[in-house]
Amino acid sequence: MKRRGSLNYQYIFLVVIVVISAPLVNAEVLFVDGSNGNDANPGTKDKPLRTIARAVTIVNSSKEPGPTMIKVGPGIYIMDEMITFENQRSYTRDARLIIEATILPDDPAWRPVHMPIILSTVQGIFSANEMHALTLRVEVNHVTIRGLSFLGNPRPRTWHYAVHRVGKHLRDLVIAQCLFLGGGEALRYSSPICANGEELVVDHCIFYDCDIPVIFWNAEDGLSQGNAMRYCIVDGVDIAAVWTCQTDVDFDFHHNIVTRSQYFWMRAPNNKKKYIVRDCILTDNKYNSGFGTASAIYGQTGPEVTFGEKNVIKRGTIQLEKSLLTPEALSVARPRGYLHVVPGTLGSDLGAGLFKKAASLQEQTNNN
Amino acid sequence: MKQGEILNNRLILLAVVFAVWAPMVHAEVLYVDGRNGNDAYPGTKEKPLCTLDKAVFLVNTNSDPGPTVIRILPGIYNLTQHLVLENSRPYTEQERVTIEASVLPDDPKWTPQCMPMIFSTEDPRDPKRPDTYGIKIKVSHVTIRGLKFLGSPNDMYAPIERIDEGLIDLLVTQCLFVGDEDSFDIYCPVIATGHQFVVDHCIFHNCHASAVFWDGPEGVSGRNNGMRYCIVDGGLISGVWTCQTAEDFEFHHNIVTETEYFWMRKSGDQQRYRLHDCIVTHNKYESGYGNASGPTGQTRQEVTFVEKNVVRAGDIVLVKDKKSRNYLHPAPGTLGSHLGSGLFKKLKHTEEEKRKIEEGFVKVNNVRLYYKTIGEGGPVVILHGGPGFDHKHVLDFEVLGDAYNVIFYDQRATGNSTGEVNANSITVDNFVEDLEGLRKALKLKKMHVIGHSWGGGLGMFYGIKYPGNLKSLVLLGAAGSSEFFGPYLKEMESRTSPEDKASLEEIAKSEAFAKGDIDAFERYYKIAVKPIFYNKSLIDTLDWGFSQKTVKNQRAVAELLMKDLGEYDILDELSVIKCPVLVVHGDYDCIPYEALYTVHTHLPQSQFVVLKDAGHFMFIESPDKLFSTIRSFLRKQ
């Protein structure tokens, strides 16, 4: 068991490297541009598609092996129906299915306005007492989602998921450099990411004003391995910042900032695993650890639950950069560091947030 | 000058009164339904349009005089480009353009879900438009009413804008504006130049500059403007913003709280405004100067207000439950809840005055039955189903209270009524005698009876025993023979998903359920009725409102009564019911069509109606058709 755990860990490491540096020369690439595209176009750079739904239909209808790349231009994308990645194509760890922004945060020219904004108006499906609306369902292995901004769903009393994976047999889903923005009474945001299966890696993401940012759910054999959450900033969570169910102790949780949240960590009632938390800042959260299920929060955990902590800061205030009113431009400006830690304040040198370059610099410094 | 002002004030009053009461008989009315409409349709009630763009296009390209009404059904309306209301039609104060929700807040049936939700996703990258709009108004005499405006992922978004010389008379009323700085921003919910711009009964939650009375041409002050009965909460810049606005500005019955500046004004403006009957608490600054780029600082002693009856201390507690009619209004009983601010124009008591409501108990047959009556006219008694539920979930029938004396009561041992729960008490015969006792106690001669589900069964048993006391009978989803129970249960079973079965079992086993927890019980029955709802999204509008006693006794009452009913077949006995009967079947009900059809064929004077796309709770799924059918049936009697 232990061996399998460490093997997975290596795989994941590999995956991230590959994702960053693979040249993807022979990839199938589809371009989407919500403003100037057209769904009758072939989806090339010059003749982009208009909707993400159309790109997904094209990807699903092909039987070629991967890799596949969907590149989404800046703009606002309304998802009024659930979109599902579902096909028989033989993606692998190296030849992946990637959906990403055309300009990514590490590009020096990048600004928050370059993030494609995905707004869901999906009508929920009724379940017990509320509506559940899934926006992007990922039902294939080896998928990366990168550089997108997901907003909530304006429909009333709707439990909204941005990215959802139902299949318990599935593995390898990387969600990186994405922004998940809730909006109080206007755009309630329930569960940005919820995935069954194994190897869900949430990396360099920001979750602002959501109910439950990430749910690491169940796997086929009752034990989910190879999961990770790192370099994320979580601020203002109404329920719990992290939720683990059948997640194994190899869960790789580090370089995260969790602040102003109800619970830091929620787990299934029968889950007493001792997870390792390292290099994190956890401040101003109401409770540390709790038990809960899909239907109820049971309350705080007792002495039966402990964490292996290393280098965890629990005091101090996290200050995030907010949008600015700029008189001369008569506009609201979102600086490059929008919703990142204000430089020079607690947490600004942790490397958490949308930028990977900062994080790798940070690691180098640490190693030296 | 002074006379002119008075005249204008009168006109405003008139305009408002007309907007509310004008019978609009000859109006051009366009219906918009984002879900079921189609832009190829003519825009009638039966064939509504789909988009607001199309409705505005039709209005703009017409050249007839007004009035014009665009009536919007509940749903989500995304504006990918702003609307421009622009034409040269001769609208007047009385013959206005009205853009409004199909159900308005003062309607007793209104819930926050009835508000059409409008938001914008106009392309943020168009350099020509750094600021974006929802509706740009280029005509005079406009009313916007009952809509909910959300923000835009863009910055600098203004949902309603009227900026042009020479335009007058814009009334924005009973609208809700909900923004969020980071994800779905509203910069200026309403901004307008010129005269007669009135913001009335609106709520602004987390917007930047809530209502902006903007600059007209230099030196011309905007007259007859007003802001009243509004709630501003969490304003990121200001609660109200005036520029050259004349001192006749009416500002009263507003609540402004948790806002950066209570009052922002154009630099240099020193008008002395009068405010009365307001609550202004927990704002960062009181009064400030600002220009197009934002606030420039606080005012000094050169700026003063005339105040009368302004509360400056205390917490405003807003209701956050989106289901509640009071969503984003002050919680009942807390500071500000009696001010009349918010979406409702008619306070609740006036509504109740209009329709006489009476409630109480009658002692009959050794039990005390709770009853409630609404309205005046011929008596219509409503029999609820279950068996063992109570009258709350059939309160939808109170709409008939505008023409009838509608009487609800809780059958014995549930709701607020008393009654022992044993085999001697819970019998069909006792239930029939209870209804007869109620009739005598309320001194009714002949009555109309409407029975839903088991209530329909009770109506038939009553009619067989006391046919002479019925003026008419309406039977909704009820069977005249137990032979239809088998097929009914089988159909229910097959339509219940495994997940729902598991949920039902889970709830039934839960401690809360065993303890008589009302929430758990209602949750259980919301899942249980899923198979008999054609439109599952409407289940949430079924408001059980069970009492604690109902939760405690329902299952035992149902069991005892079913035992007493046993195997029965009263079809042949129905021939004694000589009064007119209306039999209604929802075509998605699990109770078979034949169950209703056989009742119909055994009655001497019966009318049979099948409602399409409706299940067992047709008063929720098909209220328009059901109630219009019932009304025309009752009118004939």
Tell me the average pLDDT across B36-43: 94
Of the pLDDT bands very low, low, confident and very high (cuts 50, 70, 90), residue B22 is very low
pLDDT(A353) > 90: yes
Is B233 in the same domain as B374?
no
Is B232 in the same domain as B359?
no
pLDDT tens, position by position, B478-494: 999 988 888 888 888 88
Tell me, yes or no, whether B619 lies in a domain. Answer: yes
Cβ distance B184 to A183 less than 8 Å, yes or no, reads yes
Contacts of A327 in chain B (CB under 8 A): 293-294
How many other C-beta atoms lie within 10 A of the C-beta of residue A300? 13
Tell me the average pLDDT across B461-489: 93
pLDDT(A140) > 90: yes
- If one compares A298 and B218, the residue with the highest pLDDT of the two is A298
Is B568 in the same domain as B427?
yes
Tell me the average pLDDT across B286-305: 89
Asked if the interface predicted TM-score (ipTM) of this complex is over 0.90, the answer is no
The percentage of residues in chain B with a pLDDT greater than 70, rounded to a whole number, is: 93
Tell me the average pLDDT across B124-136: 72
Tell me, yes or no, whether B607 lies in a domain. Answer: yes
> Treating both helix axes as pointing N-terminal to C-terminal, what angle do B428-441 and B548-565 enclose, rounded to 10 degrees?
120
pLDDT(B23) > 50: no
Of the pLDDT bands very low, low, confident and very high (cuts 50, 70, 90), residue A128 is low
Tell me, yes or no, whether A352 lies in a domain. Answer: no
Residue of A nearest to B205 (CA): A185
Tell me, yes or no, whether B199 lies in a domain. Answer: yes
Distant-in-sequence, close-in-space partners of A324: CB < 8 Å, separation ≥ 6:
A332, A333, A334, A335
Calpha distance B269→A289 (Å, rounded): 55
Of the pLDDT bands very low, low, confident and very high (cuts 50, 70, 90), residue A360 is low
Amino acid A15: pLDDT: 40
Tell me, yes or no, whether A256 lies in a domain. Answer: yes
Contacts of B159 in chain A (CB under 8 A): none
Q: Which CATH number belongs to the domain containing residue A39 in this structure?
A: 2.160.20
pLDDT(A18) > 80: no
Q: Tokens for B269?
A: 């403006």
Calpha distance B557→B562 (Å, rounded): 8
Cβ distance B293 to A183 less than 8 Å, yes or no, reads no
Of B421, B418, B399, residue with least CA distance to B409: B418
pLDDT(A131) > 90: no
3-state secondary structure of A326: strand
User: Hey, what amino acid is at A291?
Assistant: F
Question: Best residue in A76, A166, A295, A334 to probe B by mutation, most B CBs within 10 Å?
Answer: A76
Amino acid A8: pLDDT: 41
CA distance B630 to chain A (A): 30
Tell me, yes or no, whether B9 lies in a domain. Answer: no
Average pLDDT of chain B to the nearest whole number? 88
Residue of B nearest to A327 (CA): B293
pLDDT(A237) > 80: yes
pLDDT(A285) > 50: yes
Residue of A nearest to B499 (CA): A127
Domain boundary among B289, B311, B333: B311
* Cβ contact B348:B325 at 8 Å: no
Containing H/E element for B551? helix B548-565
User: Hey, what amino acid is at B520?
Assistant: A
Instruction: Name the DSSP class of B338.
Output: T
Report how many domains make up chain A: 1
Calpha distance B170→B197 (Å, rounded): 5
pLDDT(A366) > 60: no
Tell me, yes or no, whether A58 lies in a domain. Answer: yes
Cβ distance B76 to A154 less than 8 Å, yes or no, reads yes
Amino acid A358: pLDDT: 64
pLDDT(B413) > 50: yes
pLDDT(B419) > 90: yes
Is B284 in the same domain as B363?
no
Tell me the average pLDDT across B2-14: 38
Question: Best residue in B180, B188, B232, B530 to probe A by mutation, most A CBs within 10 Å?
Answer: B180
Task: List, as one string, the DSSP characters of B174-202.
Answer: S-EEE-BTTTBB-S-SEEE-SEEEEEES-
Tell me, yes or no, whether A346 lies in a domain. Answer: no
B108 cis-preceded (ω within 30 degrees of 0): no
Cβ distance A76 to B293 less than 8 Å, yes or no, reads no
Contacts of A121 in chain B (CB under 8 A): 76, 78
Domain boundary among B293, B311, B329: B311
Cβ distance A154 to B150 less than 8 Å, yes or no, reads yes
Tell me the average pLDDT across B163-187: 91
Cβ distance A208 to B205 less than 8 Å, yes or no, reads no
Tell me the average pLDDT across B283-301: 90
Amino acid B13: pLDDT: 38
Buried b (16+ CB within 10 A) or exposed e, A325-349: beeeebbbebeebbbbbeeeebbbe
The percentage of residues in chain B with a pLDDT greater than 90, rounded to a whole number, is: 61
Contacts of B503 in chain A (CB under 8 A): 128
Contacts of A329 in chain B (CB under 8 A): 130
Q: Taking the CA atoms of A283, A285, A291 and A292 in sequence, report the sign of the dihedral they define.
A: negative
Contacts of A74 in chain B (CB under 8 A): 125
Of the pLDDT bands very low, low, confident and very high (cuts 50, 70, 90), residue A291 is very high
Amino acid A151: pLDDT: 93
Tell me, yes or no, whether A322 lies in a domain. Answer: no
pLDDT(B135) > 90: yes
pLDDT tens, position by position, B503-525: 889 988 888 888 888 888 888 99
Cβ distance A154 to B125 less than 8 Å, yes or no, reads no
Cβ distance A327 to B112 less than 8 Å, yes or no, reads no
Tell me, yes or no, whether A343 lies in a domain. Answer: no
pLDDT tens, position by position, B296-326: 899 999 999 998 899 999 999 999 888 788 9
Amino acid B209: pLDDT: 92
Is B136 in the same domain as B200?
yes
Q: Tokens for B12?
A: 């405003």
Residue of B nearest to A123 (CA): B537
Calpha distance A140→A68 (Å, rounded): 12
Domain boundary among B311, B343, B368: B311
Report how many domains make up chain B: 2
Contacts of A127 in chain B (CB under 8 A): 499
pLDDT tens, position by position, B338-365: 899 999 987 544 444 455 678 889 999 9
Residue of A nearest to B116 (CA): A155
3-state secondary structure of B351: helix
Q: Which domain holds residue A6?
A: 2-317
Tell me, yes or no, whether A177 lies in a domain. Answer: yes
Is B373 in the same domain as B268?
no
CA distance A103 to chain B (A): 15
pLDDT tens, position by position, B539-562: 877 888 898 899 999 989 999 998
Amino acid A325: pLDDT: 63
Question: Best residue in A122, A330, A340 to probe B by mutation, most B CBs within 10 Å?
Answer: A330
Cβ distance B123 to A75 less than 8 Å, yes or no, reads yes
Q: Which domain holds residue B382?
A: 355-489+547-636
pLDDT tens, position by position, B568-590: 899 999 999 999 999 999 999 99
Cβ distance A74 to B323 less than 8 Å, yes or no, reads no
3-state secondary structure of B149: strand
Tell me, yes or no, whether A236 lies in a domain. Answer: yes
Pairs from B518-521 (Cβ < 8 Å, separation ≥ 24) = B518/B546, B518/B548, B518/B551, B521/B546, B521/B551, B521/B554
